Structure 1
Amino acid sequence: MSGNRAVAYLKPGTVEVRTIEHPTLELKDGPGVAPRNVGRTCRHGVILKVLATNICGSDQHMVRGRTTAPEGLVLGHEITGEIVEKGPDVEFLDVGDIVSVPFNIACGRCRNCKERKTGICLNVNPARPGAAYGYVDMGGWVGGQAEYAMIPYADFNALRFPDADQAREKLLDLTMLSDIFPTGFHGAVTAGTKVGSTVYVAGAGPVGLAAAASAQLLGAAVVIVGDMNSERLAQARSFGCETVDLTRGTVEEQVAEILGVPEVDAAVDAVGFEARAHGPDAPEAPATVLNSLMGLTAAGGALGIPGLYVTDDPGGVDQDARTGTLKVRLGLGWAKSHRFTTGQCPVMQYHRGLMMAILHERVHIAKAVNATVIGIEDAPRGYAEFDQGASRKYVLDPHGALSGARPV
């Protein structure tokens, strides 16, 4: 089989749908592929017909030119699909199975994987611990914003849905299991959210909205979402969140109006390194959210930090920011005995439980993040609209599996 339409990064602000080679069970040379990964044979892998693949804010960082992503890098790490081919070493999956693929690529054999720290697998990226599909400096595994994709270590990585017909029916919700739902949930869990908590989520993009829905699922008494985008704040209110408009007044003042006190039990940073100072037309200030959350979070509380921070940012506001060196008020966090959790979400710690919550109608994550289906050929428009602040989670539909699907 030849031909495979895929979304590739060209230059800052530009992506293109182009035809690439159909995947095989071998990692071949290409844009961003780590030289020591070239020729890696994946007898343990499967080929997926991609049924749903999503545009992520992390992809947007690359498309804005805020990373060292090379021209031609095929994007996409949020992948749900049907197995159409499997390698000879795959034991427990079959052709026809529909699976969710964690964005973390993990071998299942190293020390970290055995401890379920799958975001920092030691064997899949020669450069450093951890790998992902279609992402800069993450080993060069080809991205999944495509018609077909290869998934290595499939028995370990892929989450098989128990009923294929049910999976197709709930595909718009289930596609969120590859990244943003577990990532948002991880943010809420590591912030210490529990029954009765008051929770503040910085950022009303898809991950922030997923974190807010996760906090509700975990039993939070009040979930407050802060942003400067009125459309995104309205989306947060649509499923029962309180909101803070960062273009007016301080966070503490607005939180006090809601809770009666200017602090919360738990806080989630769903913004990351492209943060802006608070206020209308505020300039970029990458440590803003972290410092704000330390001021807002009660002593003894915790910060969950699923928002992306990078080691190399060519567009950073100063030399420190360009190397990921931020002016964080660590003394304040230390004085308040805060706990911090950073890094990639270890998706496997959460995805099966969240799948069950979806299948049994305990959560409607596609509705919370305003999932919006577009064809793969419309990916450039989706990236452009998302970059302009559209309050939507764009889901690419390469084969028409989501025809007529709407969030419920």
Structure 2
Amino acid sequence: MAGNRAVVYNKPGSVEIRDTDFPDLILRDGPGVNPLNVGRKCEHGVILKVVTTNICGSDQHMVRGRTTAPSGLILGHEITGEVIEVGRDVEFIQKGDLVSVPFNIACGRCRNCKERHTNVCLNVNPDRPGSAYGYVDMGGWVGGQSEYVMVPYADFQLLKFPDKAQAMEKILDLTMLSDIFPTGYHGAVSAGVRPGSTVYVAGAGPVGLAAAHSAQLLGAAVVIVGDLNAERLAQAKSFGCETVNLREHANLAEQIEQILGTPEVDCAIDCVGFEAHGHGKAHGEAPATVLNSIMEVTRAGGSLGIPGLYVTGDPGAVDEDSKIGTLKIRFGLGWAKSHTFVTGQTPVMKYHRDLMMSILSGRAQIAKAVNATKISLEEAPNAYQEFDRGVSRKFVIDPHGLVK
């Protein structure tokens, strides 16, 4: 049987490439695997030869040591691949299919899955609803920043591309369907973006850029992106967004007023999450900053989409409350303004087929928006370091050299 290589979390600030076991259709014991999941048979699953797998900001939280992720965890939840083996119970997915894998692992059988809440499947994580590949406290499903990976519940979860040759021509766009594009789009939909909306996007990392592009696809009149990183703001400006440099201009409302003539927007999207920093030159970490600022600048009756990650365990937090996910949020302000908040993992399957069609038709240009940058598996450790320094790129790992 062939071997396998993967990107493995070693210790805070360090990932490395290791030889690992070739996957089979069973969840075996290993770093981060929930004991109740060990030995779980997956004849409903497939083995994929990974074509592309992306580095995500959520991975970076773990690599920085800001979660309880164990050493040895194989990373990666953004996976696109070719089916090379199918389980006994797989009926519709076939060998040779090129597929996108939603980062949420979902059984398709539980109440939540049947109600399209695949982000909180009840059957895949013994600890709590919801799961993902290669992620802390998500059941222990092995990550896909590797040469090969096992994917359970294949018939239900996998999005098959209709034409393999066409898909490979657009693979740097289609690889974003596993997470980043649906996540940004979900943020925009949750915030109520519609034709003519004015939108504020907090954060110009890859998810923020995806949310901004999604808002444009939904017909927003003006999309304003705020960040502390000038390079990332330049990337947002490159596809038509207005920008606010919050390192140079601490007062967000004033900057929005200079752009729109009013200090408020119709809706806002938090694409930063729990490692948020305050505004201004002397900023420090302040995990509730983004949530409080988007409440301030969103009009009464507006909605807030919150795809940014918030956790219940952060050993590197700035205070004891934040270490357990308790933040000093101005909830009274949101209540007074009758805001709607939408949080949690994105239910990828709710959006990925429509977004695939927008890519294949040429309508969506997500790879360009997020500055997709292809790298080899061996280059992944250096890419993690570059990403941590704030480079404005979405790194796409090509473990077999299949991408033109």
Instruction: Assess same fold via TM > 0.5.
Output: yes
DSSP-derived class of the 1:355 partner:
helix
Provide the residue aligned with 1:206 in structure 2: 206
- What is the percent sequence identity of the aligned residues? 73
Q: How far 1:263 moved relative to its partner?
A: 0.5
Q: TM-score, normalised by structure 2?
A: 0.99
Q: How far 1:258 moved relative to its partner?
A: 0.5
* C-alpha distance in 2 between matches for 1:170 and 1:263: 37
Provide the residue aligned with 1:115 in structure 2: 115
DSSP-derived class of the 2:379 partner:
helix
| 1:168 lines up with 2:168 in the alignment | yes
Provide the residue aligned with 2:337 in structure 1: 336
Provide the residue aligned with 1:145 in structure 2: 145
* C-alpha distance in 2 between matches for 1:167 and 1:41: 31
Provide the residue aligned with 1:406 in structure 2: none
Gaps of 5+ in 2: none
Question: What letter is aligned with 1:4?
Answer: N
* C-alpha distance in 1 between matches for 2:168 and 2:361: 15
After TM superposition, list the pairs within 5 Å mapping 1:237-316 onto structure 2: 237-249=237-249, 250-316=251-317
Provide the residue aligned with 1:125 in structure 2: 125
After TM superposition, list the pairs within 5 Å mapping 1:210-221 onto structure 2: 210-221=210-221
Question: What letter is aligned with 2:102?
Answer: P
Question: What letter is aligned with 2:379?
Answer: D
Provide the residue aligned with 1:196 in structure 2: 196
Q: How far 1:3 moved relative to its partner?
A: 1.4
Question: What letter is aligned with 1:361?
Answer: G
Question: What letter is aligned with 1:96?
Answer: G
DSSP-derived class of the 1:236 partner:
helix
Q: How far 1:2 moved relative to its partner?
A: 3.2
Question: What letter is aligned with 2:272?
Answer: V
Q: Which runs of structure 1 show a deviation greater than 6 angstroms over 4 or more consecutive aligned residues? A: none
* C-alpha distance in 1 between matches for 2:236 and 2:329: 28
* C-alpha distance in 2 between matches for 1:280 and 1:27: 48
* C-alpha distance in 2 between matches for 1:44 and 1:280: 53
Q: How far 1:343 moved relative to its partner?
A: 0.2
Provide the residue aligned with 2:359 in structure 1: 358
Gaps of 5+ in 1: 404-408
Residue by residue over 1:222-242, the C-alpha shift from the partner in whole angstroms, topping out at 9 and shown as x without a partner, is 000000100000000000000
Residue by residue over 1:314-339, the C-alpha shift from the partner in whole angstroms, topping out at 9 and shown as x without a partner, is 00000000000000000000000000
Question: What letter is aligned with 1:47?
Answer: I
* C-alpha distance in 2 between matches for 1:4 and 1:317: 39
Q: How far 1:402 moved relative to its partner?
A: 1.4
Question: What letter is aligned with 1:222?
Answer: V
Question: What letter is aligned with 1:314?
Answer: P
Question: What letter is aligned with 1:215?
Answer: A
Question: What letter is aligned with 1:260?
Answer: G
DSSP-derived class of the 2:168 partner:
helix
Provide the residue aligned with 2:57 in structure 1: 57
DSSP-derived class of the 2:275 partner:
coil
Provide the residue aligned with 1:85 in structure 2: 85
| 1:374 lines up with 2:375 in the alignment | yes
Provide the residue aligned with 1:392 in structure 2: 393
Question: What letter is aligned with 2:165?
Answer: D
* C-alpha distance in 2 between matches for 1:321 and 1:273: 9
* C-alpha distance in 2 between matches for 1:149 and 1:279: 43
DSSP-derived class of the 1:204 partner:
coil
Question: What letter is aligned with 1:369?
Answer: V
Q: How far 1:248 moved relative to its partner?
A: 2.2
Residue by residue over 1:9-58, the C-alpha shift from the partner in whole angstroms, topping out at 9 and shown as x without a partner, is 00000000001000000000000000011100100000000000000000
Q: How far 1:135 moved relative to its partner?
A: 0.1
* C-alpha distance in 1 between matches for 2:354 and 2:36: 35
| 1:73 lines up with 2:73 in the alignment | yes
* C-alpha distance in 2 between matches for 1:171 and 1:399: 14
Question: What letter is aligned with 2:370?
Answer: V
* C-alpha distance in 1 between matches for 2:378 and 2:148: 15
* C-alpha distance in 2 between matches for 1:147 and 1:216: 35
Question: What letter is aligned with 2:108?
Answer: G
Decide which moves more: 240-249 or 204-213. Answer: 240-249
* C-alpha distance in 1 between matches for 2:349 and 2:128: 20
Question: What letter is aligned with 1:348?
Answer: M
Q: How far 1:247 moved relative to its partner?
A: 1.2
* C-alpha distance in 2 between matches for 1:67 and 1:402: 33
| 1:30 lines up with 2:26 in the alignment | no
Q: TM-score, normalised by structure 1?
A: 0.98
Q: How far 1:281 moved relative to its partner?
A: 3.5
DSSP-derived class of the 1:82 partner:
strand
Could you say what the CA RMSD is over the residues aligned between the two structures, in angstroms?
0.5
Provide the residue aligned with 1:180 in structure 2: 180
